[in-house]
Amino acid sequence: MDMYDLRGKTAVVTGAARGLGLAFAEALASAGCNIAVVDILPKPLDALYELQSKYDIIVKYYQGDITSQTQVQEIVSQVVRDFERIDININAAGVVTDQAFLTTSPENIQRTFAVNVNGSFFVAQACANAMVNRYKSEHGNVPTKNATTGTIVFIASIATHIVSSAQQISCYTASKAAVKGMVKPVAMELSRYGIRVNSLSPGYTMTDMMRDLQNRQPDLVKQFEGETLFGRIGLPQELQGAILWLCSDRASGWYTGQDLLLDGGASSWKHPVISN
Ligand SMILES: NC(=O)c1ccc[n+]([C@@H]2O[C@H](COP(=O)([O-])OP(=O)(O)OC[C@H]3O[C@@H](n4cnc5c(N)ncnc54)[C@H](O)[C@@H]3O)[C@@H](O)[C@H]2O)c1
């Protein structure tokens, strides 16, 4: 039995035009999963389409803004028409702005929560409805204890576990705490349909988001490196095993309502004094 065989399944992955979302899409693609990407960028990196021939799967790209519930519902309906099913939803689209708490702007609060919280909520809700419709067509409205209908993974952050003096991101951190806050109640409500719900909290990982931050604050990555137990920050591929595990019912079928933290030990120790 291959615990990680996802052939015939479809995953909706937000934010997978690049960065962690793309790494997550590749992890699922490597197990044979078809991939539907929702991202605001006009086009994804070529690496997304290369997954099709590399793993003999189908990849479709849906450009859209997850802060619009109307757009999200239209896209998810289109995904169901295109793929006939949704089994997995990973919510990796996110934004971060470094802004001191004392001067955080209303625009930053609005945008950060609109994308990270509302957007993840809208996409997960629409995907969950598609999963529940499939459940009802297969099982009627009767709770079935052994159903494995689907999996939803929210992307939270190390920021909700430990604060780094390298950044001033109270607004982002609050938004990710809200994302993490959805996990337990949504897991409870969806369990009767055989849907598991978890979040993954990445530590500092080198992506375009991190490169943008590094351009503005050159010492940032140096400090993050000093904060992990290995003296370096993570690579997107170092999160791939975890996402594949979370999304494979045969591997993690008993895991729901939890946050999985992958941070190279950054939250496990008292960091050495960093002089600013
Ligand atoms: N990189 C890290 O160190 C790190 C650490 C902890 C958590 N995270 C989280 O992981 C996730 C992915 O981060 P990343 O580093 O890959 O960032 P990234 O900026 O490289 O990728 C984020 C993607 O989200 C998309 N996106 C942004 N707003 C959108 C919207 N309104 N609608 C649709 N798509 C939208 C972007 O176009 C982009 O492709 C984010 O939620 C981030 O908060 C990242």
pLDDT score for 142: 81
Question: Could you tell me the distance, in angstroms and rounded to a whole number, from the CA of residue 115 to the centre of ligand 1?
Answer: 10
Cβ(115) – ligand 1 distance below 6 Å: yes
Cβ(96) – ligand 1 distance below 6 Å: yes
Question: Could you tell me the distance, in angstroms and rounded to a whole number, from the CA of residue 212 to the centre of ligand 1?
Answer: 11
Question: Could you tell me the distance, in angstroms and rounded to a whole number, from the CA of residue 16 to the centre of ligand 1?
Answer: 8
How many other C-beta atoms lie within 10 A of the C-beta of residue 153? 25
**To test ligand 1's pocket by mutation, which of 209, 212, 237 has the most ligand atoms within 8 angstroms of CB?**
209
Cβ(44) – ligand 1 distance below 6 Å: no
Question: Could you tell me the distance, in angstroms and rounded to a whole number, from the CA of residue 33 to the centre of ligand 1?
Answer: 21
Question: Could you tell me the distance, in angstroms and rounded to a whole number, from the CA of residue 213 to the centre of ligand 1?
Answer: 12
Question: Could you tell me the distance, in angstroms and rounded to a whole number, from the CA of residue 37 to the centre of ligand 1?
Answer: 13
Question: Could you tell me the distance, in angstroms and rounded to a whole number, from the CA of residue 185 to the centre of ligand 1?
Answer: 24
Structural domains in the chain plus CATH codes: 10-261 (3.40.50.720)
**To test ligand 1's pocket by mutation, which of 13, 18, 20, 224 has the most ligand atoms within 8 angstroms of CB?**
20
pLDDT score for 276: 54
Q: How many CA atoms lie within 13 A of 244 on its CB side?
A: 21
pLDDT score for 145: 85
Is residue 208 over pLDDT 90?
no
Cβ(72) – ligand 1 distance below 6 Å: no
Identify the band that residue 275 occupies on the pLDDT scale cut at 50, 70 and 90: low
* pLDDT tens profile 6-50: 999 999 999 999 999 999 999 999 999 999 999 999 999 999 999
Is residue 120 over pLDDT 60?
yes
For the segment 50-54, the average pLDDT, to the nearest whole number, is 98
Cβ(65) – ligand 1 distance below 6 Å: yes
Nearest CA to ligand 1 atom 44: 202
